[in-house]
Each structure stands twice: as structure tokens, then as C-alpha cells.
Amino acid sequence: MFNQLIHNIAIWLDDTRWSTMLHESYYMYNWVESTHVLTLMVSLGMLFLIDLRMLGLALPDVPASTIARRLNLPMLVGFTVMVVTGLLLFYAVPVRSSQSIWMRIKLVLMLGLLINAVLFHRRMSEAGSGWDAQPRAPRNLRLGAMFSLAGWSVVVTCGRFIAYDWFDCQYMDPGLMSSLAGCIEGQTRF
């Protein structure tokens, strides 16, 4: 039911003129994809610095709250560009993207990481500034930073794996994996 609904929306998107134009345009598609990948340097670059600071592995003698506060804005700008280009990439190839197991893992993880980020900021304001000059943040903030680092690393890996056709619907027999990927029995468009 859920998979059928997603598939119907993907087919509808795929039939739009702009979707075809985007994925048929060699330069436009590659520019969007390159921007999506290169924005890693801004968004994840800033995020990794914040997380590594919390763990005491980077910039340990710079106050942690300064790092988190000052690098937040460029990180969010990077994430915004990343989300926009990510949506465009999905729109360019909607059927295959919506039926990618890697895309689904990536989206679930990103939801978890979003919740983690909200909790992290709440814990940070609750923790006060007594630990600010310490090389390592309090334990609950370190756990949040570790989850963030590991989670985003898996997100990047899943994003890379989307490009490979190991679990594409046309190569899978019906079963658990096929259903998790969102494959529809008898579908003719991939």
C-alpha cells in the first residue's frame, strides 16, 4: 500500500517535463550532482568540526560553545543547498530513487540525526558554560556527537551506494529486500 503510493507519486513526477529535462541534460544534472557532493565540504565539514570539538579531538583549546555557535550558520547554509540539490536529484530520477534501499536507509537515518541535533542543542543550553573551556564536553553531549559522526558517515556511504545497481528492482526477486526497497510486483517502469 505504502510502496504503491510512493511508486504512483514517483511515476507522476517522472512524467513531468522538467524531470525529463533535468535528467537528460548532461551538464545540468552533473552540475546539480556536483553541487550536492561539494556542499559536503561546507555542511558536514562544519558539523564534523563541532562534533570533533565535543569529543576533544579538534580545536580543544577553543571554547566549545564558540565553535558550535559560530559554525552553525555556515553549516545550515550548506545543509540548505544540500537539501535543495538532493530534492532536485530525486526529482530527476524519481522512480529509481524512490525504490532504492540505500535512499530509504539514508532518509530514516537523516530523520534520526535531525532528532539528535535538536536534542544536542537542548542539552547544550541545559549544560551551561561551566565545561566550555574543557577539552571534552560532558558525557551526554559526547554521545550525541558520536552518534552524529557515525550517523552522517553512514548517510554519506548510503548516498554513494545509491549510484550502484546492486539492489535495483529489476534485478531483485520478490522478497523482504525487494519489499523494503519498495519494489512493486509486475512494475514496468524503473
Partner 1 sequence: MPASLLGPYSRTILAAAVLLITLGFALSGARGEVHNGLLPFFEWLETTWFGVAGKTWGAVFATVQSVHLLGLALLGGAVLAAEGRLLNVILTDTPRELVCSRCNRVFDIAMITLVATGVFMACGVAVKIYYLPVYWYKMLGLAAGALFHYFVRNPVLAQDLENVNPWLLKAMAVASIMVWFTVAATGRWIGFSG
Question: How far, in whole angstroms, is CA 162 from its chain's centroid?
Answer: 12
Between residues 2 and 166, which has the closer beta carbon with respect to partner 1?
166
- Shortest Cβ distance from residue 118 to partner 1 (Å)? 22
**Residue 16 DSSP symbol:** S
Between residues 75 and 169, which has the closer beta carbon with respect to partner 1?
75
Q: Pattern 146-165, binding to partner 1, x per CB under 8 A? A: -------x--xx--xx-xx-
Between residues 11 and 107, which has the closer beta carbon with respect to partner 1?
107
How many CB atoms neighbour CB 157 within 10 A?
12
Non-local (6+) Cβ contacts of 73 within 8 A are none
Residue 185 dihedral angles phi and psi, to the nearest 5° = -60, 130
From the list 1-9, 13-21, 70-78, 93-101, the region that binds partner 1 by CB under 8 A is 70-78
**Residue 71 DSSP symbol:** H
**Could you tell me the maximum CA-CA distance found in the chain, to the nearest angstrom?**
61
Compute the residue count for the chain.
Answer: 190
Q: Residue 60, exposed/middle/buried by CB under 10 A (0-12, 13-18, 19+)?
A: middle
34 binds partner 1 (CB under 8 A): yes
From the list 66-74, 106-114, 137-145, 174-182, the region that binds partner 1 by CB under 8 A is 66-74
Using CB under 8 A, pick the residue from 10, 13, 32, 49 that binds partner 1: 49
Q: What is the DSSP string of 151-181?
A: HHHHHHHHHHHTTS-TT-GGG--SSHHHHHH
128 binds partner 1 (CB under 8 A): no
Between residues 41 and 118, which has the closer beta carbon with respect to partner 1?
41
Residues that bind partner 1 (CB under 8 A): 30, 33-34, 37-38, 40-49, 52, 58-63, 66-67, 70-71, 73-74, 153, 156-157, 160-161, 163-164, 166
